[in-house]
């Protein structure tokens, strides 16, 4: 079984490399998605996001609250970029083969819903009877 798994991984890697050579856009995203630096940066941003989430308090100054909101938007933007880069750079089939990517996608989708809801609520037009 181990040999079969390694053969499948090799065939997938070979197919991805051929695809990257044929399609420059795919090649660009594949290159970024497979960079160790990109994976390390993603990990650092996840840790930073966790720290920022832990900094949230009930009684914050408006200035600090706006600062945290801007940081959260930055993190959200990076996570969207990371998800799309991995999705494009590996292809849907391979991307969703890994269970962690299912989890990661779910977290990003829930975050997107949260950002949209917060934006709509802050503008005062969410579920309003206009």
Which two tokens mark 116?
């949209």
The whole-number pLDDT of residue 1 equals 56
Give the predicted TM-score (pTM) of the model: 0.76
What is the mean predicted confidence (pLDDT) over 105-128? Answer: 79
In the chain, where the domains are located: 2-123
Least confident of 9-23, 58-72, 83-97: 9-23
Is the distance from CB of 88 to CB of 26 less than 8 angstroms? yes
| Sign of the C-alpha dihedral computed for residues 26, 30, 33 and 38 taken in this order | negative
Tens digits of residue pLDDT in 11-47 = 666 777 777 778 788 888 888 988 999 999 999 999 9
HSE-up of residue 68 (Cα within 13 Å, Cβ side):
15
Q: How confident is the model at residue 124 (pLDDT cuts 50, 70, 90)?
A: low
HSE-up of residue 71 (Cα within 13 Å, Cβ side):
18
Q: Using CA atoms, how far apart are residues 46 and 51, in angstroms rounded to an integer?
A: 9
CATH architecture, domain 2-123: Up-down Bundle (1.20)
Q: Which residue in the block uniquely carries the two structure tokens 């801007």?
A: 70
Q: Output DSSP code: residue 127.
A: T
The answer on pLDDT for 7 being more than 70 is: no
């Amino acid at each position: 079984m181990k040999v079969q798994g390694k053969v499948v991984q090799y065939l997938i890697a070979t197919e991805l490399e051929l695809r990257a050579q044929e399609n420059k856009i795919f090649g660009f995203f594949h290159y970024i998605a497979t960079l160790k630096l990109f994976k390390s940066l993603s990990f650092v941003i996840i840790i930073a996001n966790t720290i920022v989430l832990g900094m949230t308090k009930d009684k914050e100054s408006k200035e600090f609250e706006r600062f945290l909101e801007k940081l959260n938007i930055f993190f959200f933007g990076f996570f969207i970029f990371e998800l799309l880069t991995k999705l494009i750079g590996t292809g849907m089939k391979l991307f969703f083969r890994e269970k962690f990517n299912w989890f990661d996608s779910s977290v990003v989708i829930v975050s997107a819903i949260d950002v949209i809801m917060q934006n709509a609520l802050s503008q005062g037009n969410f579920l309003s009877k206009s």
